[in-house]
Amino acid sequence: MHGRWLIGVPMLLVLGGGLRAQTVSETLAQRYAHVQDLNNRAYRLLIPSREGGPSRDDARRALQSAVQAQAELDTLENGLRDDAYLLDRAEDRRFDAVLRQAAAEVALGDRAAALDVLERLRGLRWYAQYADLLLKMPGLKPLHDAPRFQALIADLRRMDRRWRATALMPLPASGLTEAQRVAGLSLFWSEARYNFVYFDQVPELDWNQAYLDFLPRVIAARSLHDYYDVMMRFAPLLHDGHTDIDPPDAIANEFYARPPLRTALLEGGQVAVTWVGSPSLAAKGLRVGDELLEIDGEPVRQYASTHVAPYVSSSTPQDRHVRMYDYQLLSGDHRKPVRLKLRHADGSTYTVDISRERDPAALRRSAVEWRMLPGDIAYLAVNEFADDAGPKAFVAHLPQILAAKGLILDVRRNGGGSSSYGLDMLSYLSDQPIPGEAHRSLEYVPAFRAWNGSYVAWKALASQPFENPREAHFQGPVAVLTGPRTFSAGEDFVLSYKLMKRGLLIGETTGGSTGQPLEFDLPGGGHARICAKRDTYPDGTDFVGTGIAPDVRVVQTIDDLRAGRDPALARAAALVAGRHGD
């Protein structure tokens, strides 16, 4: 749901400029801004004073503004059909106006009129979370004991129960029943059937046959562990990095426990250690650049194909390799150590047993890394967008960046988070609006199917260039380092940077997966995600399923790794400095 400023429930203020009582220019954007002004005026008039609620005069003026806002939205409706962004926002502004009108009616003592207004919400975009919003609004508190208000809340609660399937979730003391196991599989199958946006990228998959194939397997699963072992193999059939199933927290460490050790499949085909994150592992002889030969007695590539690949949800081969040979390669039951056979750079081999139990001495990788490189080149690695560490670091070092001769932004290990953090950083590189993806999702109308049979229809979702004016912008040359671990919001960052035409992309192709997952619970405490939003280049070209290719491809070999060389960074520094032949 988009941000709003609700009466008594502050979210994001929708101020669109100063209040215009006079006739505004007839552009759609200005007329929409006038609706925002009317809603905000009604909100301010209805804010309770210290002496109590709003005065009757203020309530009347608020009522007039709210009614006028809805009338203006009526006249805008046809004009906005070709502007998905404003049309989507207009639906939210109508919701705001209805709530303000209802609160004004309550303040004027007409509870029946207020209830009439609120019941119109059933004809608008209707979210289950509105129940909590309505109950929290101080201006509507006098309606709480009204049967019509209670019926409205009950309708919203029922809708929430229907979509959340809460009746399936309780875990009996004896474990999941057969009916619950089947229902959980059915829930995921059904939600994907209606909401998954990339079936065209798995053309050979018969999703209904897959469901039938997995039914006997979930019926046969006797323990919670065995059930999720089956379910976690079902989601990967959709081959999407934002579509997966996770086990309940209580048993997550039976699947996902791993030692503080990172590995990678390199260009030459070797699987090598890329990071040793614990003194105890270093004491066992593990070194960056050691080649991993076997896991639990099996050749590493065979082990990955047999024990890891069936659980990998990925959209591209490069992301699949990251998951198979890094993120999930050494994951497993915390109670079971893993035996590795490795080879040092000198050719000698050794075998080591490593615990998967949590290591309290394990190191943590920093969310950001900053340094100045030779030649007065600023370097900032942002390894996640889960929080604002990246933008904060950028701002903290802004004086040095502005004075630098070049800038390198490294998102090779950025697995995502919120795309807003990446856009904040990019806003320091240009004074122009920052472009981004086009978005769409499936639009299902049951009557269409009843009239004409099977069909697919898409709805364009609201999007517009990002703007956040800055007092200063870095004007020098920029390069962004990318790789297959650049994923989700990290990939959104790369796409916007590419569309800005601000500089080169250097390294390897990104992971090729972004979007908005639909998230829901599964029986026994598990959790599922299904990608429900399709993101593309503005012209409709897909990058999910392929990734964003660099302008200059540079890969790391095992010799580079052992020597501590970072060829992509070295190439970026040379290009930013203008040394094209280096």
518 contacts: CB under 8 Å, gap ≥ 6: 191, 195, 529, 530, 531, 532
Which residue is it, tokens 């956040």? 468
Closest by alpha carbon to 305, among 271, 332, 329?
329
- With a cut of 70, say whether residue 6 has pLDDT above it: no
Number of domain units in the chain? 3
Average pLDDT over every residue of 356-380: 95
At 307 the pLDDT is: 97
Q: Higher pLDDT residue, 232 or 90?
A: 232
- Give the CATH number, domain containing residue 502: 3.90.226.10
Co-location of 142 and 19 in the same domain:
yes
Co-location of 350 and 439 in the same domain:
no
The reply to whether 141 falls in a domain is yes
- With a cut of 60, say whether residue 520 has pLDDT above it: yes
User: If pLDDT is split at 50, 70 and 90, which confidence band does 579 have?
Assistant: low
64 contacts: CB under 8 Å, gap ≥ 6: none
- With a cut of 90, say whether residue 10 has pLDDT above it: no
Query: Where in the sequence is the domain holding 460, given as residue range(s)?
Result: 368-576
Residue that finishes a domain, picked among 309, 326, 354: 354
* DSSP-derived 3-state class of residue 370: strand
Average pLDDT over every residue of 383-410: 97
The reply to whether 248 falls in a domain is no
At 545 the pLDDT is: 97
How far, in Å, CA of 78 to CA of 529, rounded?
35
Co-location of 301 and 405 in the same domain:
no
Co-location of 442 and 563 in the same domain:
yes
At 26 the pLDDT is: 55
- With a cut of 60, say whether residue 304 has pLDDT above it: yes
How far, in Å, CA of 21 to CA of 445, rounded?
40
Residue that finishes a domain, picked among 332, 354, 376: 354
At 82 the pLDDT is: 65
- With a cut of 50, say whether residue 259 has pLDDT above it: yes
The reply to whether 42 falls in a domain is yes
User: If pLDDT is split at 50, 70 and 90, which confidence band does 4 have?
Assistant: very low
At 83 the pLDDT is: 67
Taking residue 446's Cβ as centre, other Cβ atoms within 10 Å add up to 7
At 580 the pLDDT is: 56
At 476 the pLDDT is: 96
Taking residue 219's Cβ as centre, other Cβ atoms within 10 Å add up to 15
Co-location of 319 and 401 in the same domain:
no
Q: Of 10-24, 95-109, 194-208, where does mean pLDDT reach its minimum?
A: 10-24
The reply to whether 468 falls in a domain is yes
User: If pLDDT is split at 50, 70 and 90, which confidence band does 410 have?
Assistant: very high
Average pLDDT over every residue of 22-43: 77
Average pLDDT over every residue of 496-512: 97
Residue that finishes a domain, picked among 164, 188, 211: 164
- With a cut of 50, say whether residue 19 has pLDDT above it: no
How far, in Å, CA of 18 to CA of 140, rounded?
28
Q: Of 6-15, 95-104, 345-354, 362-371, where does mean pLDDT reach its minimum?
A: 6-15
CB 405 within 8 A of CB 391: no
The reply to whether 530 falls in a domain is yes
User: If pLDDT is split at 50, 70 and 90, which confidence band does 87 have?
Assistant: confident
DSSP state of 412: T
How far, in Å, CA of 469 to CA of 475, rounded?
15
